[in-house]
Amino acid sequence: MKKLGLGIFVLVLIGVTLAGCQSMMPTVSPTPPPTPTLIAGQYTYDDLVQVFEYDLQALLDIRKVSVADKEDGVEVHDISYMGAPDYRVPAFLVVPPGEGPFAGVLFMHQGFGSRNSFLNEAINLANKGVVSLLVHHGTWRPDPDNYRRIVVSLRRGADLLTQRPDVDSSRLGYVGHSWGATFGGILADIDKRFQTYILMAGVPSFSEVWERDDLVPFDGVHYIGHAEPVPLFFQLANNDEYVSREAALEYYEAASEPKHITWYDTTHFFVNAEAQQDRLEWLSWELDLP
């Protein structure tokens, strides 16, 4: 990651070079370079987005463990794939019957959850013609390498969906809960393949929660304002034990338009039938489901 100090050094070096060549050039009033916008006094926006670059040619190396048949021909594939280098991601791939083309949805659970967290929801979506990938990240330790690995692995999950011949890559959605919602805010900026995002009980800033400046690049609030024109649906809990109303609103208010917010009488864990129904209806509308 480039630091601001390096950027200033480069600008000074360019200035010295131009000064030495001035006698060979017409006299022109130079346009000063734009001043980088600092975030948290340490990073520029360009610094931040470079954190999540990855090898687009790397093999996914999808491995299938088993397949379970559900009602109406829906299949649940127990798989894993290579996310970030040296990091294999366990996942469920839920596939409807037929040849498609189907919409695709990537699910990211909350910190206390797992790939099982949205499984029933994904099976219901399969009955409406959706291939779902439910990833599992077993550790939520506040570590920059871990957080970067997760974001890259989510992008690789999008690769997995879009490379399937039965998935319509123009109809992709993302559903993230808690830290999955914060990482979703990052994806909404850096990965434009998703047509909509549902963000449940996300925090705007990991660095503030953990009081660690090295986590600034993973604060969703720095990215969520660049999501346009993708519509964002924020689902927030009135009785959230972990995310204050002020923090939830900070994240929502930082987001670009179009966006929608709904509050539910539930806790951070979102055991709420109304919220689940709203997610189904939102995805049905945004992904053109039957």
- pTM comes to 0.86
Question: What pLDDT is recorded for position 38?
Answer: 56
Closest CA to 224 of 211, 212, 214, 233: 233
Q: Is residue 39 part of a domain?
A: no
* Distance (Å, whole) CA 207 – CA 217: 9
Those residues with Cβ within 8 angstroms of residue 219's Cβ, 6 or more apart along the chain or in another chain = 40, 182, 204, 205, 206, 207, 208
Please report which residue ranges of 32-167 form alpha helices under DSSP H.
45-50, 119-126, 144-162
C-alpha dihedral sign at 105, 111, 116, 117: negative
Q: What is the pLDDT of residue 212?
A: 92
- CATH number of the domain residue 154 falls in: 3.40.50.1820
pLDDT band at 139 (very low <50, low <70, confident <90, very high): confident
Q: Which tokens sit at 243?
A: 């995310």
Give the CA distances from residue 157 to residues 121, 173, 187, 260, in Å, rounded to whole numbers and listed in that order.
18, 12, 12, 25
When comparing pLDDT for 17 and 186, which is higher? Answer: 186
Q: How confident is the model at residue 20 (pLDDT cuts 50, 70, 90)?
A: very low
For residue 40, the model assigns a pLDDT of 58
> Is 3 inside any structural domain?
no
Contact between residue 80 and residue 111 where contact means Cβ atoms under 8 Å apart = no
For residue 8, tell me if it sits in a domain. Answer: no
Q: What is the pLDDT of residues 224-266, one digit of tens each?
A: 999 999 999 999 999 999 999 999 999 999 999 999 999 999 9
Q: Which of 267, 289, 288, 264 is nearest to 278 (CA)?
A: 264
Q: Answer whether residue 100 is part of any domain.
A: yes
Proportion of the chain above pLDDT 90, given as a percent = 77
Helix 179-190 with 245-254: angle, nearest 10 deg: 10
Q: Is residue 151 part of a domain?
A: yes
Q: Calculate the average pLDDT of the chain.
A: 87
* Residue 45: per-residue pLDDT: 85
Q: How would residue 43 be classed by pLDDT, with cut points 50, 70 and 90?
A: confident
Q: Which of 189, 184, 183, 258 is nearest to 218 (CA)?
A: 183
Of residues 122 and 28, more confidence is placed in 122
Alpha carbon distance 241, 278 (integer Å):
22
Cα–Cα distance between 35 and 133 in angstroms, integer?
Answer: 41
Which residue type, as a one-letter code, is found at position 92? F
User: Does 50 fall in a domain?
Assistant: no
pLDDT for the residue 83: 95
Lowest mean pLDDT among 16-20, 124-128, 187-191: 16-20
The pLDDT of residue 195: 98
Residue at 109 is within a domain: yes
Q: 164-216: per-residue pLDDT in tens?
A: 999 999 999 999 999 999 999 999 999 999 999 999 999 999 999 999 999 99
Number of domains observed in the structure of the chain: 1
Print the domain residue range for 278. 57-286
**pLDDT on residue 25:** 36
Q: When comparing pLDDT for 175 and 12, which is higher? A: 175
Q: Assess whether pLDDT exceeds 70 at residue 11.
A: no
